[in-house]
A and B are shown apart, each in its own frame.
Chain A
Amino acid sequence: MSTPNPAATPSGSPPAAAPGGPLYVALTGNPNCGKTTVFNALTGLRAKVGNYAGVTVERKEGQLKNAPAATPITILDLPGTYSLSPKSLDEQISRDVLFHRLPDVPPPALVVVVVDASNLERNLYYATQVLELGYPTLVALNMMDVAAENGHEIDLVGLAARLGVPVLPLVASAHEGIDALRAAILRTVPALAQTPVAARNFCALPPLFTRAVGDLAARLDTLFPHHRTATPPEALLLLTDDQALLSAGAHYPAEIRTAVEQSRAQLTAAGLDWRTSAIEARYARLGEIHAATVHETAPEGITFSDRLDGLLTHKIWGLLIFVVLMALMFQSIFTFAKIPMDFLSAVVDGIGAHVGSLMAEGPLNDLLVNGVIKGVGAVVIFLPQILLLFLFISLLEDTGYMSRAAFLMDRMMSRVGLHGKSFIPMLSSFACAIPGIMATRTIESPKDRLVTILVAPLMSCSARLPVYTVLIAACIPDIHVLGFFKLTGLTMLAMYLLGIVVALLMAWLFKSTLLKGATPILIMELPPYKRPVLYITLRHMWDRSKLFLRRAGTVILGINILLWALATYPKDPTLAEKSFRDRNAVIQEAFPTITSPADLALKLAALQAPPPADAPPAATNSVETAVREKLELIDREEQGSKLRHSFAGRLGRLIEPAIAPLGFDWKMGIGIVASFAAREVFVSTMSVVYNIGDFDKSDTATSSLAKELQAQRHADGTPVYTTLVAVSLMVFYVFALQCVSTVAVVRRETNSWKWPLFQWAYMGALAWLLAFLTYQGGRLLGLG
C-alpha cells in the first residue's frame, strides 16, 4: 500500500546469484502486451505464485520448459510496467528487480522484453529504457498477427539492428515463435558468465545534459563498484524522475541527492527542462526507428475492437450491458455461490459430527469439533465466492473489458475521489467483503486502493442478512406503507442504503483528509479486446484462492479457536452436576421403576438418541415425547448457562455500560462479542443465550428465535426487543467490523496491522455513534 520502498538494499553490492543455482531470466514489458501468455508458454503449467516480500505484488516464476537439467533456468514474470519511473507499486517492483534492489530476488542473467508489435512505438519506450540498463537482452515481438491485421509490416532485421539486440517475432496466443524464443534463451544463457554490461543509448540529449548524466554516472560507478547495470541510464532516471530518490529508500547516500539537485539547477538555468527532455529525446529516436522499420500496408481502419467498443461504451447499450454483466456477477457470488457454500458447511458439520463421535466427550473433543473443525469451516466457506468472483474478474481483465468498466464508472466514483476500478470491489462487497477486498489489486494507485479497502466492508454483506432477517421478523411490524410497500422490506432496503451512503461519505472524507495529497492523474489504456484463455482464467482463480487460504486462512482459524475458548471457558462444574441431577429427576418422575444409576444412564442414552422412525404413536410414546421435550429444555438451559458463565458471557456484562446507551443489554453484548468471528454468529449465539439451542438457519429457526426475542421482558415487564432497539442493533451491524476474516484479509492486503486496526476502530466508532443517535434520537421522538 502506501509503503515506502519495498526493502531496498542499503548497500550497493548486489546479492550474488548462488553459484550453480538456477539462472534468473526476467520477463518484462508493458501491461497488455501478452506477457502472461508468453510466460505460460515458456514455463508450462508449473508456475509458482506468491508475493514479493513485504508487499502485495504478485510474484510469479516458473522453470523454463525443456531446459537442460545441468542449467535450470527460472523465468521471473515481472508486473506489467510502462516506464522505469514507477507510478504504482507493481511498476516499482519491476524497476527494483531490474536494478537488483530486492534482497530476495537474484539479479537477472538475461532480460526478455515483450513488445506488442501492434503498438510498437509506445511499447518501445519502456523496451529501450530496459535495453539501456545493459543486460544481455532479447526482444520478443509479440502479437505479430494483430500487427499484420492492422496493416503494420515490420522489418525485423532493421529493428534488431537499430535496437542492438536480437528481435524474435511471436504470436504467443497461438504458440508461434515460442520454440525459437526458448532456443534463443538457451543459446544466450551459457555465454553469459562474463558478459560485460553493454552500453546502449536511445536518448540524444543536449551536450550539457549528457555531461550532467556522465558526471552523476561516474559518481555512481565509484559508490557502487559492483553494479550489474550500466550507470548512465540510472543517472538519467535519478535526474529526470521526481520520485527516483524518494522511492529508493536508503539506497542512495546524501551526496547523490545533493549532486542531483545541483545538476537539475544547472540544467534549469540553461533553459533545459530536466523532467521532459529525456522523454522527448527518446520519443524522437523512437519516431525515427518506427519510420524506418514499419511499413503501413493499409490505411488506418476501423478494427473489430473499435466496433465492439462502439457497442460496449455506447451511451445506452454500453451502460445496459454493463448493468446486466454486473447483475450477473453479483447474482453469482450472492446466490449461486450459496449452493457450494451450503454443501461445504454440511460437509464440515458432517466431519465435525463424525470426529466428535469417534472420541470420548471432553475438552479435546470440544476443541477439535467446535474450535478447529468449525474454524476450518469458517475459512473454506469463503472459497466458492472467491473462486466465482475471480472467475469474473479474470474474464473481465483478460478480455480487456475491465478498463471499459472503469471508463463507464469513473465519473460516478470520481465524485467521491475514487477510481473507476473501485466499482467492482465495492459491488462484490455486497456479497462478501473478503473477495471484494482481494479484488482491489486491480487498482493501481495505492491511495485509491487503500480507500476502497477501508470502505468496502460498509457494504451490507450476505453475513448481515441473517441478523437483519431475525431482527426484522421479531420487531418490525408487518404492515404495508404507501400502498404496496412492506415496512419490513423497506427496513431492509434502508440498512443497505445506509451502508452505501456512509461508505461514499467516508471515502470522500478519507480522500480529503487522511489520504490527501496529489493523486496521480487518471491515465488508463483501453487495450484491444482479446479472447480469454481458459487456462489463464482457471490459474488466476486457483492462485487467488491459494493465497487466501495460506495467508488469511491461518489468522481466521486462529481467531476462531480463540473465540471458541472465550465462549467455552471458564467452565462451571456445578452446572453439569445440576443438569445431571435435573435429567435424572425427570426420568425418575416419568419412569418410577428405574432407580439404579446404571439403568438411569441407559434410559437417558435411549431417550437422547433420535426416536426410531417406525415407532407407532402409542400411549407410552406420548410419555416419552414429554420426557424428551423436558430433557431438551434442560440441555438448552445448560448450553445457555455455560455461555452466560463463560468469558464471552462476562465480556457481555463487562461491555453492558458501554452499550446500554444504544439500547442493548448484556445478552446482546454476548452476541456482539461472539459475533466478532462473523456477523451471522450473532443469530446462533442469541439462540443459545435464550435457551433455544443450536440455530440451523431454517425458516422455523428464524421464526422461533424471533418469537423468543419478542417474548423477552425487562424486570418491569416492558419488552426488551422494541422496534427501536432492533433498528439500533441493525444500525450497529451495518457499521461494526464484526468479521475476523475481513480483518485478516485487510492485514494481508495492506501488509500491516495498522490499517485493519484503524478500520476496525473507525467502523466501531461509527457503529456506536450511529446506533446511539438512532436509539437516543428515537427516544426523544417518543418511539420505543
Chain B
Amino acid sequence: MPAVRQPLSALPLGTKGTVAEIQIPPESRGRLLEMGLLVGTSVELIRFAPLGDPIEIKVRGYHLTLRKHEADLILVQPAS
C-alpha cells in the first residue's frame, strides 16, 4: 500500500490519521512531542477555528490546538 502522506490540516474533518513525519525544526518541536504527538501517534482533526486558524486536534484522548502553519509541517497517513 503506497504511503499517501498529507499535512495534518488536510485531513477531512473528523477523520483520523497516523503521524508519519514531523518537519518542525528539532529545536522547536520538543513540547509538541512531550504533549504526546510523536511519529506513529494517532490524531484526529476536529475543527478549524471560525477565522480559519488555528486548528483543533484530538491526540491520546485529549484536545489540542495548533496553528495551521505548524500543523502543515506534520505529515500524516490517513487511516483507511
Contacts and interface: CB of A to CB of B under 8 A. Distances in A.
A525 B63 contact: yes
A522 B66 contact: yes
Nearest to B60: A121
B31 A87 contact: yes
Contact of A520 (B31, B35, B51): B31
A236 to B, nearest CB: 13
Contacts of A275: 26-27, 30
Q: How large is the interface on A (under 10, 10 to 19, 20 to 34, 35 or more residues)?
A: 35 or more
Chain A to chain B: the 6 pairs with minimum beta-carbon distance, closest first: A411-B51, A526-B63, A524-B65, A315-B50, A279-B33, A411-B53
A279 B66 contact: no
Interface in A251-298: 273, 275-276, 279-280, 283
Interface in A630-680: none
A273 B47 contact: no
A331 interface: no
B2 interface: no
9 contacts: A120-B61, A121-B60, A122-B36, A242-B30, A407-B49, A520-B31, A522-B67, A526-B56, A527-B62
A122 B41 CA distance: 12
Interface residues of B, number: 30
Given A414-B53, A414-B67, A525-B62, A520 B28 contact: yes
Contacts of A12: none
Interface in A74-117: 82-83, 85, 87
A172 to B, nearest CB: 19
Contacts of B51: 408, 411-412
Contact of A522 (B26, B60, B70): B70
A318 B50 CA distance: 8
A241 B30 contact: yes
Contact of A119 (B26, B49, B61): B61
Interface string B17-47: 0000000101111111111101000000001
Contacts of B64: 523-526
A544 to B, nearest CB: 26
Interface in A504-552: 518, 520-527
B24, B38, B67: residue with the most chain A Cβ atoms closer than 10 Å: B67
A521 B66 contact: yes
A526 B35 contact: no
B35 A408 contact: no
A403 interface: yes
Nearest to A241: B30
Nearest to B28: A521
B62 A119 contact: yes
Interface string A399-431: 000010011101110100000000000000000
A483 B47 CA distance: 44
Contacts of A85: 30-31, 34
B29, B30, B34, B56: residue with the most chain A Cβ atoms closer than 10 Å: B34
A606 B76 CA distance: 89
Given A276-B38, A313-B50, A520-B31, 19 more contacts: A82-B31, A87-B31, A121-B36, A242-B27, A283-B38, A313-B49, A315-B50, A316-B50, A406-B65, A410-B65, A411-B52, A521-B67, A522-B54, A522-B66, A522-B70, A523-B64, A523-B66, A526-B64, A526-B65
B65 A407 contact: yes
